[in-house]
Amino acid sequence: MASSPSFPLLLFFSPLILLTVHPLHTPPLSPDASALPPPPPSCGPGQSWAVRLHARLNEEGHDMDELAHLVAVDAGLENRGQIGQLAGHYLLCRGAEEEGQRDTRGASAAGQALADHPYVAWHSQELLLSRSKRSVAFNDPKYPKQWHLHNELRAGMDINVTGVWEHNITGAGVTVVVVDDGVQHTLADIQPNYSPEGSYDLNSNDPDPMPHPDARSDNHHGTRCAGEIAAVSNNSFCAVGVAYGSRVAGIRVLDGPLTDSMEAVAFNKHYQVNDVYSCSWGPDDDGRTVDGPHPLGKAALQHGVIAGRRGFGSIFVVASGNGGQYNDNCNYDGYANSIYTVTIGAVDEYGRMPFYAEECASMLAVTFSSGGRSLRSIVTSDWSMQDGTGCTDAHTGTSAAAPLAAGMIALMLQVRACLTWRDVQHIIAYTATQYTDKLANWETNGAGFHHSHQHGFGLLNAWRLVNAAKVWVSVPFLVSYQSPVLKEDRKILAYPDQLVLSWNVTAADLKQSGMKTLEHVSVTVTMAHPHRGNVEVVLHCPSGMSSLIGARRALDSDTSGYMDWTFSTVRCWGERAEGQYSVLITDHTPGEQSKSLGTLNHWKLTLYGSSMSDEEVKQRQSLVKEAMGGQYLNSSFSLPCPPGLDIAPEKVHPLTSNSLKSLLLLGCFALFWSLYYTMEVALAHLDLRELWRGRRSRAPDGFQAVRLEEGPELELQRVVNTDTKVPVIAGDVTAYSDSGKGSPTDSD
Ligand SMILES: *[C@@H]1O[C@H](CO)[C@@H](O)[C@H](O)[C@H]1NC(C)=O
Ligand SMILES: *[C@@H]1O[C@H](CO)[C@@H](O)[C@H](O)[C@H]1NC(C)=O
Ligand SMILES: *[C@@H]1O[C@H](CO)[C@@H](O)[C@H](O)[C@H]1NC(C)=O
Ligand SMILES: *[C@@H]1O[C@H](CO)[C@@H](O)[C@H](O)[C@H]1NC(C)=O
Ligand SMILES: *[C@@H]1O[C@H](CO)[C@@H](O)[C@H](O)[C@H]1NC(C)=O
Ligand SMILES: [Ca+2]
Ligand SMILES: [Ca+2]
Ligand SMILES: [Ca+2]
Ligand SMILES: [Ca+2]
């Protein structure tokens, strides 16, 4: 009886004690106590007792405060009042005048007096509890300088990851591969986390992606990116990675001429080992290039999301590009536009858009990197070849942002391994945070998501991502709708006039696929114009949400217009798919107001989405919001995860015409797996929903099961019709062989 309440009481005391250890060292209280603030709630280790008075005294109508005073006097102590909100519990201290002559004899006498006292039901002498703050303290010498992990100067301007680590979530079991110019895996910060199984060298055709030091180029880029993701923590060396418990692999492909087929091989390399592909490179950021993955690269991206990660889909993270100072825009970058990629932009340590950053309508989110010269850059591993030291504080550009996102995704995949490639994009849209920045032009769409062309859905926040991942049930399978190719051959009108194209998507159009809400929306245009950088293209979704999908670019004086260029936007995410879509095209060529210089030949609209209704989107939004307290992060909570498919690892072929044949075969596999996958995911999804509904009785009309009457058969057809049209008809493969090295997305 006497000791039973001590556990809750001690828990209750602990913060009080920690707060009041220092008053011991302040001068003793003056006798004029009334002029002073109330005495501290605790009086130091060993000098105070918590007592509980008998409850019957209260029932008998005694004034408990008065009784507590009597008990205190009898024991030679001072009553410091009721303990918090605990009725009948009082804190008694030894008097201040005894400060100088504290001795254990007096203390034990007081304890004895309390033990014998008829009013006292229970008492306990307070001891100093040992409570360490749950913050991670690492001995890595550069960790204090890694502001992107913990920004002490500017609150909120970091990825908010330390609380995730405290829950022992560090990316364990997840592999991230850096597709770049090599990874120096022998470094102390990389070696323990290095995955040789996920690595390859496509430049030299061997399994070892060790960077080559050469006189002309600094091949330190991939190593720096790898360190941001998975640098070993607490090894007294350099820095700490976002997902320091994950494994990191390297694919060396940027150190030499890059072809379409090499890119294709890279995107699917070891795709049952590698979960996340971090790609900090892209087409030239010169403000006039319009380029993206070529047919094989496209096919490989698509194949990766279908068959990679046991069918849950490889996660491709791409940097939005560093052409900001040339007015470049990532809607002219096919990797950023692709629905298969997580497109990540950069902000500086203030959360501002740096000079080099590009904006676009397909930007999913931003995270940190360097800014102007006076601002801090990213501290990470570095190669130790040439003049490298194994550690740098000068990693810059959107190159530095994409790996941070890849690391955060690794944290998400640790808590929920069966997230699909689309789940990851959804969770980013649902959790990225909006904030004030004078360059960011935020708009809220019809589904309540905020987006800016500069910052995507906002700042990636590891804590929010991981909490949402933990409670996330996979979204229904992907469906798409494609308008016919709309032949127009209409003149592009000069500003302030505009050519308006529109297309109505009716309920009947969507019935076959079952699409209700949107994810990506894309518009493919063919137009002729003598100076295409002057043309501006804006898309309006049925809600009225507008996306600047084709921004003006001063340096783009190309005379050939666009040939089937696909612009895409994420700004209509979660909105209802049905309704009227319009494309507004304006020619801003100065001094040509009266003439029409260009012609829009034809265009088509493609919608991607799912059978999720707009109410379900709302429910997920509130579910995610509700999960932000971290209450689901403990290991005893977990949703069921289907195991995934057994998909054979891809075969390693040298790059010959045979490897192209094998890619054609991969394309066929893609088709096969897409059928299998669609069905499997649909079934797994039904299972999950059943379980989910059982578990969360608070959402009785929560996620509704997929309607079976529109079930898999129809869906399979959609997949065949739309999504597999890309692969590899490659009549003349060499025609696509692209030369020239991809440019790493450093800012310098
Ligand atoms: C880091 O290592 C030190 C010993 O060098 C250890 O005391 C400390 O607890 C470790 N920190 C973490 C977060 O593991
Ligand atoms: C950051 O993470 C902590 C948990 O470590 C959480 O309490 C806090 O709300 C998070 N902040 C934001 C802005 O999400
Ligand atoms: C942390 O996670 C790792 C890997 O999941 C596990 O081996 C380890 O036991 C965990 N540690 C704690 C303290 O939970
Ligand atoms: C599309 O729908 C709108 C009303 O929502 C209507 O005014 C317009 O004429 C329709 N356009 C076409 C091409 O059917
Ligand atoms: C873990 O989380 C679940 C769900 O919130 C909760 O019911 C359970 O009490 C938690 N367990 C621990 C040990 O915190
Ligand atoms: Ca090699
Ligand atoms: Ca380290
Ligand atoms: Ca670019
Ligand atoms: Ca994308």
Mutation probe of ligand 1 site: the residue of 132, 135, 139, 233 with most atoms within 8 A of C-beta: 139
Residue 671: closest CA among 733, 605, 730, 722: 722
Query: What is the value of pTM for the model shown?
Result: 0.75
- The amino acid that residue 454 corresponds to is Q
Q: In this predicted structure, what is the pLDDT of residue 26?
A: 34
CATH number of 143-475: 3.40.50.200
Mutation probe of ligand 2 site: the residue of 150, 151, 157, 160 with most atoms within 8 A of C-beta: 160
Q: In this predicted structure, what is the pLDDT of residue 214?
A: 83
Location of structure tokens 């100088």:
100
Q: Which of 46-55, 500-509, 571-580, 733-742 has the lowest mean pLDDT?
A: 733-742
Give the mean pLDDT of the chain.
82
- The amino acid that residue 435 corresponds to is Y
Q: How far, in Å, from the CA of 141 to the mean position of ligand 1? A: 13
**Length of the chain counted residue by residue:** 748
3-state secondary structure 140-188: CCCHHHCCCCCCCCCCCCCCCCHHHHHCCCCCCCCEEEEEECCCCCCCC
> Taking 50 as the threshold, does the pLDDT of residue 31 lie above it?
no
> Taking 70 as the threshold, does the pLDDT of residue 721 lie above it?
no
Burial of 728 from C-beta contacts in 10 A (0-12 / 13-18 / 19+): buried
Pick the more confident residue, 700 or 383.
383
Q: In this predicted structure, what is the pLDDT of residue 515?
A: 98
Q: Which region holds residue 607: left if phi is over 0, alpha if psi is between -120 and 50, else beta? A: beta
Q: How far, in Å, from the CA of 298 to the mean position of ligand 9? A: 12
Q: Determine if ligand 2 sits within 6 Å of the CB of residue 81.
A: no
Mutation probe of ligand 2 site: the residue of 167, 463, 631 with most atoms within 8 A of C-beta: 463
CATH 3.30.70 in the chain: give the residue spans. 41-125
Q: Where are any strands of DSSP class E within 431-498?
A: 443-444, 450-451, 479-482, 486-492
CB 546 within 8 A of CB 497: no
Pick the more confident residue, 60 or 38.
60
CATH 2.60.120.260 in the chain: give the residue spans. 480-611
> Taking 60 as the threshold, does the pLDDT of residue 165 lie above it?
yes
Residue located nearest, by CA, to atom 8 of ligand 3: 168
Q: In this predicted structure, what is the pLDDT of residue 47?
A: 76
Q: How far, in Å, from the CA of 603 to the mean position of ligand 4? A: 18
Beta bridge partners of 213: none
For 368, residues 6+ apart whose C-beta sits below 8 A from its C-beta are: 147, 148, 157, 158, 159, 346, 347, 348, 349, 378, 400, 401, 404
DSSP string for residues in 398-423: HHHHHHHHHHHHHHHHHH-TT--HHH
Q: What is the mean pLDDT of residues 95-111?
A: 64
Q: Which one is catalytic: 124, 148, 167, 180?
A: 180
Residue 705: closest CA among 697, 693, 723: 693
Q: Which of 561-565, 587-591, 679-683 has the lowest mean pLDDT?
A: 679-683
Q: Which atom of ligand 5 is nearest to the CA of 631?
A: 5
Q: Which one is catalytic: 89, 220, 221, 520?
A: 221
DSSP string for residues in 249-314: EEEE-SSS---HHHHHHHHHTTTTT--EEEE-EES--SSS--B---HHHHHHHHHHHHHTGGGT--
Q: In this predicted structure, what is the pLDDT of residue 92?
A: 86
CB 170 within 8 A of CB 243: yes
Q: In this predicted structure, what is the pLDDT of residue 293?
A: 96
Q: Which one is catalytic: 399, 480, 547, 611?
A: 399
Task: Quickly count: other Cβ atoms within 10 Å of residue 45's Cβ.
Answer: 14
Each residue of 488-500: pLDDT tens digit? 999 999 999 999 9
Q: Determine if ligand 2 sits within 6 Å of the CB of residue 464.
A: yes
Pick the more confident residue, 98 or 542.
542
Answer CATH for 480-611 from 3.40.50.300, 2.20.25.90, 2.60.120.260, 3.20.20.70: 2.60.120.260
Q: Where are any strands of DSSP class E within 85-139?
A: 89-93, 120-125
> Taking 90 as the threshold, does the pLDDT of residue 737 lie above it?
no
Mutation probe of ligand 4 site: the residue of 486, 501, 502, 505 with most atoms within 8 A of C-beta: 502
Q: Determine if ligand 3 sits within 6 Å of the CB of residue 441.
A: no
Q: In this predicted structure, what is the pLDDT of residue 666?
A: 52
Rounded distance, CA 232 to CA 726, Å?
40
Question: Residue 262: what are its φ and ψ, rounded to 5°?
Answer: -65, -40
Q: How far, in Å, from the CA of 636 to the mean position of ligand 5? A: 6
Q: Which atom of ligand 4 is nearest to the CA of 504?
A: 1
Q: How far, in Å, from the CA of 320 to the mean position of ligand 7? A: 28
Residue located nearest, by CA, to atom 3 of ligand 4: 580
In this structure, what is the dihedral angle of CA atoms 679, 681, 683, 688, given to the nearest 10 degrees?
-170
Residue located nearest, by CA, to atom 6 of ligand 3: 168
> Taking 80 as the threshold, does the pLDDT of residue 507 lie above it?
yes
Q: In this predicted structure, what is the pLDDT of residue 655?
A: 39
Q: Which atom of ligand 1 is nearest to the CA of 236?
A: 5
Rounded distance, CA 75 to CA 71, Å?
6
Rounded distance, CA 340 to CA 668, Å?
19
Each residue of 580-591: pLDDT tens digit? 999 999 999 988
Enter the tokens of residue 314: 């490889």
Q: Name the band, by pLDDT with cuts 50, 70 and 90, for residue 89.
A: confident
Question: DSSP state, 575?
Answer: S
Q: In this predicted structure, what is the pLDDT of residue 43?
A: 67
Q: What is the mean pLDDT of residues 207-234?
A: 94
Rounded distance, CA 571 to CA 604, Å?
18
Q: Which ligand is nearest to the CA of 193?
A: 7
CATH architecture of 41-125: 2-Layer Sandwich (3.30)
CA dihedral (652, 654, 658, 663) positive or negative: positive
Residue 157: closest CA among 412, 373, 321, 352: 352
Q: What percent of the chain has a predicted confidence (pLDDT) above 90?
A: 64
Specify the 3-state DSSP secondary structure of 104: helix
Task: Quickly count: other Cβ atoms within 10 Å of residue 334's Cβ.
Answer: 23
Q: Name the band, by pLDDT with cuts 50, 70 and 90, for residue 126.
A: confident
Q: Which atom of ligand 2 is nearest to the CA of 164?
A: 5
Our answer to whether residue 180 is catalytic in this structure is: yes
Q: Which region holds residue 484: left if phi is over 0, alpha if psi is between -120 and 50, else beta? A: beta
> Taking 60 as the threshold, does the pLDDT of residue 560 lie above it?
yes
